[in-house]
Each structure stands twice: as structure tokens, then as C-alpha cells.
């Protein structure tokens, strides 16, 4: 692992240095568990109590906390972002050597840019286009006519279905399935018939897709994932969904078909969005919420019931079961007064 002086780190991440620029930093650690040679960070105020006793050689923090810091510091208006950039220096992404592994199978008309790496057991079908400096990890399957933009990285076992278009600098984690058929069915008596999914899937630049996530292609028009969208692991995006730029979906979120999600939204883990509705820009949906109607205005929206002690929940549930009879009694009393 590389080491940097504190002065080098300050220059790399554009932070203000407070302390000895020659101090050598070799790793990143938490405030509680850091040792000399480590740099830590303080972004969440609830961890401020650990600052005074930290053994880190330096801490990334905001200007208003600097006077309480007992060690050197990198001062930033956004300490968490600065920490992310510092951590990236100590753990750069792997860069396999360019070339095509002997076990990979490429159609004769596949187009490859400069310095592309194709890993073992990959399959690239007819008409695939891979731009320069891409990494295609082991066991990936890329369907006919798919296009992947420059500097993109597919981890092991990713499936890109036919005709999918992916922009620059995509990061797709293991097991993701991109552009599979959506869940389209027509009722035929007591049976179901499959509806062909004739649309495509367009993914913008700087998109990250988590492990084992799935994004369906469109039924008629394209599914669209705009620039900068980040999907956590095990997210499902249905057909014809449009997700606006720089929106983030946490793990196990499910977006039903034809929903439109705005820009700069945050959707918490396990939340669900019903199909054919719209969510405005700058909306936060908290974890385990169920969105059943369109959200027209920015803000924070919740519908989940937080966990509570079992005895309390049982008591509240018993009261909920009595609610209907209580409403009827109140209605009867109001009718008596009117009479």
C-alpha cells in the first residue's frame, strides 16, 4: 500500500493543511481505532467525542472543529467527500493489463478501443462495441449490439443484454444483469401470455450499479438511467423506468415499470415505488417506505413503521384492530346528536 506525506494528501484532495506537511500517512482508520501513521475523519457530529483521544496522526474535519483537534488536520468544508478521495488514493481500483484472455470468445465483428482488458471466459456477441480503457471482468456476457463507453469497468459475472447502451466510466459490480426483459404479461383467461419487450436500455455517464442488481429493458420505449445515478446491491428497476441524474437508490429498492424518478433523489433501503407514477426532483424517501402515489414536491417522505419492543407493538396492533369498531361508535354518537 502506498504512503503519502500529509502535504501531498492536502494537494491531491485540495484540503487546507494544519500541521506538519512531512508527516507520513500510510492508511485510513476510524477515530477510535486509529494508530500513528493513520489518517481519520470526522464527518458525523456524534463521533466528535472520540476526537480528543484519537491516536491518528491526522484527522480530516470541518473548519469549526479544528480548534478541538489534538493532532494535524486536513480542513475541508466537506470532510466526508475529502475522506472518500483520500481513501481512493490508498485503495486504487485494480487495473488489469490490456489484452484478451485466451478463454474469451469474441464474435468476428466485435469492436474494441485501445487498452481494453477482456477477462477469462467472457463472451462478446456480434456487433458489440467496447470503447478505450474498459475492463471486462471474468465471466461477463455482452449481448449482440451492446455498446460500452470508455473507462468503464465490469466486475466478474456481469450480463449486458442485447442492444444496451452504457456511457463513460460505468462501474458495474458482480452479478448485475443489465437489459433483461421486463415483467410484461397479458391475461388470457386463467393463464398469462408473455408480452415481448421491444424497447432498449440507455445508461448515462458515471453510473454505478451494485452487485446482483437488475435493470429491465423497455417494453416499447427505452428504460433510461441518467448521468451519475448510483444503485446499491440487489436493486430492481422495472421496464420503461426513467431515473434522473445523480439519484441514489439504496439496497433492495424496487421500482415498478414506467415510474419516473427525478434528479438528485435519495431512496432508502427496501423502499418500493409503484409503477406509472412520478417523483419530483430532490425527494428523499426513507427506508422501507412504499410510494403508491406521485410525489410532486421536494422533501422527505416516509411510510414505514420503525421497529419497537414486541410488547409495545402487540399492544398497538391490538388497538389498531379495535379502530374500526371505535369509528363506528363515534359515527353513531354523531348521528344521535344530529338527530
Tell which wins on pLDDT, 93 or 235.
Answer: 235
More confident residue, 320 or 200: 200
Residue 274's pLDDT is: 97
Asked whether 267 and 251 are in contact (CB, 8 A), the reply is: no
> Residue 304: pLDDT above 90?
no
Q: Which pLDDT does position 305 carry in this prediction?
A: 85
**277 with 258: CB under 8 angstroms?**
no
Q: What is the pLDDT of residue 172?
A: 98
Confidence band (pLDDT; 50, 70, 90) for 239? very high
CA atoms of 123 and 134, how far apart (whole Å)? 15
Which of 182, 163, 330 lies closest to 256, judged by CA?
A: 182
Grade residue 92 by pLDDT with cuts at 50, 70 and 90. Answer: confident
- Cα angle at 299 between 294 and 302, to 5 degrees? 70
**pLDDT given for residue 80 in this prediction:** 97
Judge contact between 240 and 221, C-beta under 8 A: yes
Contact 200, 182 (CB under 8 A): no
How high is the mean pLDDT of the chain? Answer: 96
pLDDT of 238 above 80: yes
Q: What is the pLDDT of residues 192-220, one digit of tens each?
A: 999 999 999 999 999 999 999 999 999 99
Residue 74 pLDDT exceeds 70? yes
Alpha helices in the chain (DSSP H): 6-13, 79-90, 310-338
Which among 39, 74, 79 has a CA at the least distance from the CA of 55?
39
pLDDT in tens, 137-182: 999 999 999 999 999 999 999 999 999 999 999 999 999 999 999 9
Rounded CA-CA distance 153/160 in Å is 12
Fill in the DSSP letter of residue 48.
Answer: G
**Full-model pTM:** 0.91
Q: What is the pLDDT of residues 105-149, one digit of tens each?
A: 999 999 999 999 999 999 999 999 999 999 999 999 999 999 999
Catalytic, out of 133, 239, 246, 264 = 239
Q: What is the pLDDT of residues 15-67, one digit of tens each?
A: 999 999 999 999 999 999 999 999 999 999 999 999 999 999 999 999 999 99
Best CA proximity match to 225, nearest among 298, 290, 238, 129: 238
Residue 210 φ/ψ, nearest 5 degrees: -75, 170
The arithmetic mean of pLDDT across residues 86-115, rounded, is 94
Render 4-32 in DSSP notation, one character per residue. Answer: EEHHHHHHHHT-EEES-TT-EE-EE--TT
Instruction: Tell me the angle at which helices 6-13 and 79-90 cross, rounded to the nearest 10 degrees.
Output: 120
Whether the pLDDT of residue 95 is over 90: the answer is: no
Q: Which residues contact 119 (CB under 8 A, 6 or more apart)?
A: 96, 101, 104, 135, 136, 137, 138, 139, 140, 156
pLDDT of residue 339: 67
Distances in Å between the Cα of 206 and the Cα atoms of 142, 189, 253 are: 19, 45, 20
Say whether 239 is catalytic. yes
**Does 1 score more than 80 pLDDT?**
no
Amino acid at each position: 500500500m502506498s504512503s503519502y506525506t500529509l502535504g501531498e494528501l492536502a494537494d491531491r484532495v485540495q484540503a487546507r493543511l494544519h500541521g506538519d506537511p512531512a508527516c507520513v500517512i500510510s492508511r485510513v482508520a476510524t477515530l477510535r481505532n486509529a494508530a500513528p501513521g493513520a489518517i481519520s475523519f470526522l464527518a458525523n457530529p456524534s463521533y466528535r467525542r472520540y476526537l480528543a483521544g484519537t491516536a491518528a496522526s491526522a484527522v480530516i474535519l470541518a473548519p469549526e472543529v479544528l480548534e478541538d483537534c489534538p493532532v494535524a488536520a486536513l480542513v475541508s468544508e466537506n470532510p466526508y467527500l475529502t475522506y472518500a478521495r483520500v481513501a481512493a488514493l490508498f485503495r486504487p481500483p485494480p487495473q488489469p493489463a490490456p489484452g484478451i484472455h485466451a478463454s474469451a470468445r469474441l464474435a468476428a465483428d466485435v469492436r474494441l478501443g485501445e487498452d481494453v482488458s477482456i477477462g477469462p471466459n467472457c463472451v462478446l456477441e456480434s456487433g458489440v462495441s467496447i470503447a478505450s480503457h474498459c475492463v471486462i471482468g471474468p465471466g461477463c456476457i455482452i449481448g449482440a449490439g451492446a455498446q460500452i463507453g470508455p473507462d468503464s469497468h465490469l466486475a466478474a459475472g456481469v450480463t449486458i443484454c442485447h442492444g444496451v447502451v452504457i456511457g463513460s466510466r460505468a462501474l458495474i459490480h458482480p452479478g448485475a444483469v443489465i437489459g433483461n426483459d421486463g415483467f410484461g404479461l397479458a391475461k388470457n383467461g386463467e393463464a398469462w401470455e408473455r408480452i415481448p419487450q421491444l424497447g432498449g436500455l440507455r445508461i448515462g455517464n458515471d453510473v454505478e450499479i451494485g452487485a446482483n442488481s437488475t435493470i429491465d429493458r423497455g417494453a416499447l420505449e427505452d428504460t433510461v438511467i441518467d448521468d451519475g445515478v448510483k444503485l446499491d446491491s440487489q436493486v430492481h428497476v422495472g421496464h420503461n423506468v426513467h431515473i434522473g441524474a445523480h439519484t441514489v437508490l439504496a439496497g433492495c429498492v424496487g421500482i415498478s415499470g414506467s415510474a419516473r424518478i427525478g434528479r438528485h433523489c435519495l431512496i432508502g433501503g427496501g423502499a418500493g415505488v409503484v409503477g406509472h407514477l412520478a417523483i419530483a426532483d430532490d425527494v428523499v424517501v426513507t427506508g422501507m417506505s412504499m410510494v403508491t402515489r406521485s410525489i410532486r414536491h421536494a422533501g422527505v417522505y416516509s411510510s414505514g413503521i420503525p421497529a419497537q419492543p414486541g410488547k409495545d407493538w402487540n399492544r398497538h396492533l391490538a388497538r389498531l384492530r379495535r379502530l374500526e369498531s371505535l369509528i363506528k361508535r363515534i359515527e353513531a354518537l354523531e348521528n344521535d346528536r344530529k338527530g
